[in-house]
Amino acid sequence: MAEAFIYDAVRTPRGRGKSDGALHDVQPIQLLTTVLREIRDRNQLDTALVDDIIMGCVTPIGEQGADIARTAALEAGYAESVAGVQLNRYCSSGLEAINMAGAYVMSGQVDAIVAGGVESMSRVPMGSDGGALFMNPQIVARHKIVPQGISADLIATKYGYSRQDVDTFAAESYRRAVDAQAGNRFARTLVPIKDDIGMTLLDRDEGVRPGTTVESLGKLKPAFAALGQMGLDALALLKYAQFDTINHVHHAGNSSQIVDGAAGVLIGSKAFGEKSGLKPRARIKAFAIVGSEPTIMLTGPIPATHKVLKRAGMTISDIDLFEVNEAFAAIPLLFMDEFGVDHSQLNVNGGAIALGHPLGATGAIISATLIDELERSGKQFGLATLCIGGGMGIATIFEQINF
Amino acid sequence: MINYSLDQNIAIITWAMTSSPMNVLNDESIPQFEAALEQAFADESVKGIIITSAKPEFVAGADLKMILRNNDKDPAEMLKVTAELNRIFRRMETSGKPIVAAMNGTALGGGYEICLACHHRIALNSPKSVIGLVEVTIGLLPGGGGTQRLPRMIGIQAALSLMLEGKKAGVPEALKLGMVDEIADSPDDMMTKAKAWIAANPTPLRPWDEIDRKTGKIVGKDNFKVPGGNVQSAVGAQTFGAGTAMLMEKTKGNYPAPLAIMACVYEGLQVNMDRAIMIEARYFVQVATSKVAKNMIQTLFLGMNEANKGISRPKEVPKTDVKKVGVLGAGLMGAGIAYVSAQAGIEIVLKDISTEAAEKGKDYSRQLLQKGVERGKVDPGKVEGILNRIKPTDSVQDLQGCDLIIEAVFENRALKAQVTKDAEPMLATGGVFASNTSSLPISGLAQASARLENFIGIHFFSPVDKMALVEIIVGQHTSEYALAVAMDYVRKIRKTPIVVNDARGFYTSRCFGTYSAEGMEMLKEGVNPVLIENGGKDAGMPVGPLAVTDEVALDLVYKIAEQGVQDGVVREDDTRYQVSKTFVDLGRTGKKARAGFYDYADDRSKKLWPGLQTLFPQAEQQPTLEEVKTRLLYRQAIEAVRCLEENVVRTKLDADIGSILGWGFPAYTGGALSFVDFVGIETFVTTLDRLADTYGERFRPTATLRERAGRKTLV
């Protein structure tokens, strides 16, 4: 089987996903086009060598609809022969795109793909695409489908994470993100977004708030308690009858931020690298996808990680660094507890709580962050994992190959 | 029959069924209705149609016996019922001739669906009329296009809340909600308005229909915009996501009809009307052929009607009329009995040891009436009359001439004997003496009476004004006459009676006690108390077994169990006895002490007492939720079976009604005995044997039950 290599990764800064966010007047196609152009330009890439563009996008309607990946390939000025496909595996879409690209390359049927994702959450609101999973009464009732915030609070309830625990984790995410920005650690991957007349709109992740502490987070009200009162706690507890209430600990400050952003990762075979004159940065060692219990929904990283480690013939101690998407603080906490992983190895530059989670792109962003950090710290193996709506988990092991 | 007449060029179709007391949709009326419509459609001189009724009501709904008849049959049979109706209703809408519903009275269920299929609805503003799609209350869904037309008229959210609640709206409210288009002050006004509307709208078209350009026919419009927002919209996402959760919180998934109503609206409103009614029909068939619908119709509709009419009343005794009632003891029960009786026009003598105490009992009525006035439920003009009928007193003499005296003093044999002796002589000739005891055997109490045959138990439930059930207990010597008087009285105060024979705990207290007891058994075994409580609620009980025990009070449980131990009918190692003793010793006697299985906070919230973990350490291996539910329901059902076999409860219907109204046994099963049919009698016996093997002999099926399982029928 051929190997799949990572040749480069580019991402936009993440703008706050509201109408006053820095990227709100930038169309999602512009975010994605910027990423594709940067990958081409800084690698002096002959785009005719690229077979396909695979882009995750979770709300592919409106201006994110109609196969935004192919639209971006055209708009970025890639060779006409470069195809494009949009996929949706909810929050893991960006990593799913990488895995799919990796699989294509490993199969020998494809030479190179740009994989990643895009989400302009300020312009195409999360959930605005509806979906039977969240709306069809029979499905909601049968499978006890609740909003993710309720699921996250159910995890906190089941595994005993207090408000203090989640706020402590979140404050640390902020602290690390502030340090990472100050230390310019995102520089290799991050490309500023400029407007049509060349003015920079945003060159850093907008949501990072220096000075965020456990105390300041402690003032925020639980975000999902009111929703829980509207029957949603009760619906979840029909399946989790061992609990009488759900402990609502998550809020805006310890959950991932809603943001706008895009990312792309250039993945190709060894031959592609040689032909393009590019040096590989990392290899895709193994990946796994798994379904998990859909009501608690967000515990998928645990079985996904077990699965990918088994596939790679590795143990948890073989992994040097982890990126566990901070959809909600309880998820990385659960991950650390289940695998005995120390916080010093996990999300070392902060995560989505401080930096933001542009749904379709995040999987690619945390993979890029992980590879950057493996290189910076001279480490070999990194594992990226995300929890996924509908009850799924994804995990990928990257191997950094330049020492 | 259904009358057809012409008023100039308007056809008047009048429902006037002779085969049933009210107009209903059934095998007889539906074809006649259609024939009348077709006559009007075919007559070119007819420019419009008015549909009305010659009875006080418009049309009361579908004949539920017709639904029951088809319940067990091939789904195709039930589909015929709904398809037939829908075909007629859709033809009304698309015939091209204007049709007006002149709703002279109550229009419920299928009756209101006739109106929905008309182009215009005019309701006579009568205070007695109610309008609504009430099918959900008997486990059904509107199967005549109601789930499709109402949301298209008034919006998804408004229609859903009406249909899911089964709300009956008065005429002014129905107008406000958009359920009717106009109201009329008199029958003449109604007909005049109907004719005027027809004259002004010669070719009406519902907003969800359009004229097909090729054929010129009226067809369902694609892309109809639902008022207030389509299914696929932000409003829709909220309504169907959170709405389903709220529904599940209420039903725990035990009732298929509400969810099916949601599904009908969700699916049906995404397609045109012609396709939508097919979607509704499929859901209707699924729900109407379900065991839940069958059992709910049997018990809650047909059965309840029979019980309310007094099916258990001795037929040979001529009708009696209780005009004056004495109530002994003006505590919560006595005050409640006085209130409901005075409301029914009965003169009440409310006696307690002091006038002050009796007056306090009367205050209870004052408070309830005032609340009623504030909420618009009580006519302010009637308050004084009701209160004037209650005479508070401390004098036995005032009881002179009572047709019925009900003692509601403390559960103490000596006290009860005393008040019986004092008051009984005051009864009018042929008067009956009743005890409102909830647990003391009636035949024993009757010994204080000089007229054993006129002594009976009338067991009210608390709070009396809210609880619909009355358990009538026939003692060893109680006469048929006394039973008839008691039943006539219960009917007069508009409660639902069941008749039981004298035995420890009678019927309701005895069976209800097993629910609480099984909760304690599990607690003792180390089952997580949260799981126990959720198991009860998820099975469909109103509260968990531990919470309800707190409400009953643990010292009362202890007192009864201790009495049982003394009488040699309860073993000393009985869990109920042991657990209640432990809690009484701890001073945790329940909700009234604000400490029992739960701790009670000032804000009326409660939390399971953390000390339970020490007293009953949780077992490593916890049962599934299903197992907890099974234990709690089967334990009550087998007790009800024993009560029937021991002739404590006289009929299956009384057992079912008593269980639902008396202690909140889940209605979806049809009641504690219908539960056996609900799960299937063979499954019932097999499961009981398994439960007995695992948890104890209390679950063991009786020999009679086994024999009946062999014959595949409980009764």
> Is B497 a residue whose pLDDT tops 90?
yes
- Look up the CATH number of the domain holding residue B473: 3.40.50.720
> Is B300 a residue whose pLDDT tops 90?
yes
Q: Do B241 and A140 touch (CB under 8 A)?
A: yes
pLDDT on residue B376: 83
Any CB–CB contact under 8 A between B270 and chain A?
no
Query: Tokens representing B330?
Result: 């003006």
- Same domain flag for B189 and B46: yes
Q: Which of A128, A136, A238 sits opposite B252 (nearest CB)?
A: A238
**Pairing of β A15-16 and β A259-268:** antiparallel
B238 vs B2, which has greater pLDDT? B2
Q: Read off the amino acid at residue A271.
A: A
The side-by-side arrangement of strands in the sheet containing B169-170 is B107-108, B130-132, B169-170
Query: Tokens representing B470?
Result: 């009355």
- Please compute the mean of the pLDDT values over residues B593-610 and round it to a whole number: 95
Ordered DSSP codes for A27-95:
-HHHHHHHHHHHHHHHHT--GGG--EEEEE-SS-SGGGTTTHHHHHHHHTT--TT-EEEEE-BTBTHHH
ipTM of the complex: 0.91
**Within a domain: B486:** yes
**Within a domain: B651:** no
Taking the C-alpha atoms of residue A308 and residue B53, their distance in angstroms, rounded to an integer, is 72
From residue B710, give the alpha-carbon distance in Å to each of B46, B672, B713. Answer: 62, 20, 8
Contacts of A231 in chain B (CB under 8 A): 242, 244-250
Residues of chain A with pLDDT under 70: none
Q: How confident is the model at residue B217 (pLDDT cuts 50, 70, 90)?
A: very high
For residues B521 and B627, the answer to whether their CB atoms sit within 8 Å is: no
Residue of A nearest to B627 (CA): A241
Q: How confident is the model at residue B29 (pLDDT cuts 50, 70, 90)?
A: very high
Q: Which of B236, B242, B534 sits opposite A241 (nearest CB)?
A: B534
For the segment B108-149, what is each residue's pLDDT rounded down to a tens digit?
999 999 999 999 999 999 999 999 999 999 999 999 999 999
- Same domain flag for B34 and B163: yes
Q: Do A231 and B253 touch (CB under 8 A)?
A: no
Q: Read off the amino acid at residue A257.
A: Q
Contacts of B236 in chain A (CB under 8 A): 130, 135
- Kindly state the helix (H) or strand (E) to which residue B262 belongs, with its residue range: helix B256-268
With 0-12 / 13-18 / 19 or more C-beta atoms within 10 angstroms meaning exposed / middle / buried, residue B707 is: exposed
Q: Which of B575, B605, B624 is the last residue of a domain?
A: B624
- Look up the CATH number of the domain holding residue B25: 3.90.226.10
Q: Do B253 and A137 touch (CB under 8 A)?
A: no
- Same domain flag for B512 and B471: no
Taking the C-alpha atoms of residue A270 and residue A6, their distance in angstroms, rounded to an integer, is 10
Looking up tokens 């007069």, which residue turns up? B492
DSSP annotation of B303 reads I
Taking the C-alpha atoms of residue A326 and residue A174, their distance in angstroms, rounded to an integer, is 12
- Kindly state the helix (H) or strand (E) to which residue B415 belongs, with its residue range: helix B413-423
Active-site option among B119, B120, B459, B477: B459
Output the average pLDDT for chain B.
95
Q: Do A140 and B249 touch (CB under 8 A)?
A: no
For the segment B267-285, what is each residue's pLDDT rounded down to a tens digit?
999 999 999 999 999 999 9
Least confident segment among B517-531, B564-578, B652-666: B564-578
For the segment B663-673, what is each residue's pLDDT rounded down to a tens digit?
999 999 999 99
- Please compute the mean of the pLDDT values over residues B668-683 and round it to a whole number: 96
Q: Is 0.90 topped by the overall pTM?
A: yes
- Same domain flag for B273 and B346: no
Any CB–CB contact under 8 A between B608 and chain A?
yes
**Pairing of β A392-400 and β A282-291:** antiparallel
pLDDT on residue B238: 87
Q: Do A242 and B622 touch (CB under 8 A)?
A: yes
Nearest to B657, CA basis, from B539, B507, B537: B507
**Pairing of β B130-132 and β B169-170:** antiparallel
- Please compute the mean of the pLDDT values over residues B476-487 and round it to a whole number: 96
Taking the C-alpha atoms of residue B685 and residue B662, their distance in angstroms, rounded to an integer, is 25
- Same domain flag for B484 and B512: no
Distance between first and last Cα of chain B:
37
Any CB–CB contact under 8 A between A132 and chain B?
no
With 0-12 / 13-18 / 19 or more C-beta atoms within 10 angstroms meaning exposed / middle / buried, residue B18 is: exposed
Query: Tokens representing A89?
Result: 């595996």
For residues B462 and B335, the answer to whether their CB atoms sit within 8 Å is: no
Any CB–CB contact under 8 A between A135 and chain B?
yes
Q: How many CB atoms lie within 10 A of CB A367?
A: 30
**Within a domain: B640:** no
Best of A135, A150, A247 to mutate (most B CBs within 10 Å, chain B): A135
Q: How many CB atoms lie within 10 A of CB B587?
A: 10
- Please compute the mean of the pLDDT values over residues B419-432 and round it to a whole number: 95
For residues A28 and A64, the answer to whether their CB atoms sit within 8 Å is: yes
- Same domain flag for B246 and B339: no
Taking the C-alpha atoms of residue B584 and residue B371, their distance in angstroms, rounded to an integer, is 37
Looking up tokens 């099984």, which residue turns up? B518
For residues A58 and A90, the answer to whether their CB atoms sit within 8 Å is: yes
- Same domain flag for B431 and B531: no
Beta bridge partners of B519: none
- Kindly state the helix (H) or strand (E) to which residue A264 belongs, with its residue range: strand A259-268
For the segment B527-546, what is each residue's pLDDT rounded down to a tens digit?
999 999 999 999 999 999 99
Taking the C-alpha atoms of residue B187 and residue B106, their distance in angstroms, rounded to an integer, is 14
- Same domain flag for B436 and B512: no
CA A303 to chain centre: 18
- Same domain flag for B496 and B603: no
pLDDT on residue B523: 98
For residues A57 and A362, the answer to whether their CB atoms sit within 8 Å is: no
For residues B636 and B665, the answer to whether their CB atoms sit within 8 Å is: yes
pLDDT on residue B294: 95
Beta bridge partners of B459: B471
Q: Which of B500, B528, B558 is the last residue of a domain?
A: B500
Q: Do A137 and B262 touch (CB under 8 A)?
A: yes
Percent of chain B residues topping a pLDDT of 90: 92
DSSP annotation of B662 reads I
**Within a domain: B557:** yes
Looking at the structure of chain B, the number of domains it has is: 3
Nearest to B625, CA basis, from A338, A144, A151: A144
- Same domain flag for B537 and B496: no
Taking the C-alpha atoms of residue B715 and residue B704, their distance in angstroms, rounded to an integer, is 11
Any CB–CB contact under 8 A between B619 and chain A?
no
For the segment B32-50, what is each residue's pLDDT rounded down to a tens digit?
999 999 999 999 999 999 9
pLDDT on residue B715: 77
- Please compute the mean of the pLDDT values over residues B226-254 and round it to a whole number: 93
CA B314 to chain centre: 25
**Within a domain: B531:** yes
Q: Do A140 and B244 touch (CB under 8 A)?
A: yes
- Look up the CATH number of the domain holding residue B600: 1.10.1040.50
**Within a domain: B694:** no
DSSP annotation of A328 reads B
Q: How many CA atoms lie within 13 A of A61 on its CB side?
A: 10
Best of B156, B163, B244, B625 to mutate (most A CBs within 10 Å, chain A): B244
Note down the domain range covering B383. Answer: 324-500
Q: Which of B500, B518, B553 is the last residue of a domain?
A: B500
Best of B230, B238, B249 to mutate (most A CBs within 10 Å, chain A): B249
Best of A136, A139, A154, A295 to mutate (most B CBs within 10 Å, chain B): A136
- Same domain flag for B185 and B274: yes
Q: How many CA atoms lie within 13 A of B148 on its CB side?
A: 31
**Within a domain: B304:** no
- Same domain flag for B49 and B168: yes
Any CB–CB contact under 8 A between A226 and chain B?
no
Q: Which of B236, B242, B628 sits opposite A231 (nearest CB)?
A: B242
Angle subtended at Cα A371 by Cα A366 and Cα A373, rounded to the nearest 5 degrees: 90
> Is B518 a residue whose pLDDT tops 90?
yes
Nearest to A357, CA basis, from A33, A60, A86, A92: A92
Any CB–CB contact under 8 A between A133 and chain B?
no
Any CB–CB contact under 8 A between A197 and chain B?
no
**Within a domain: B229:** yes
| Residues of A classed as catalytic | 91, 357, 387
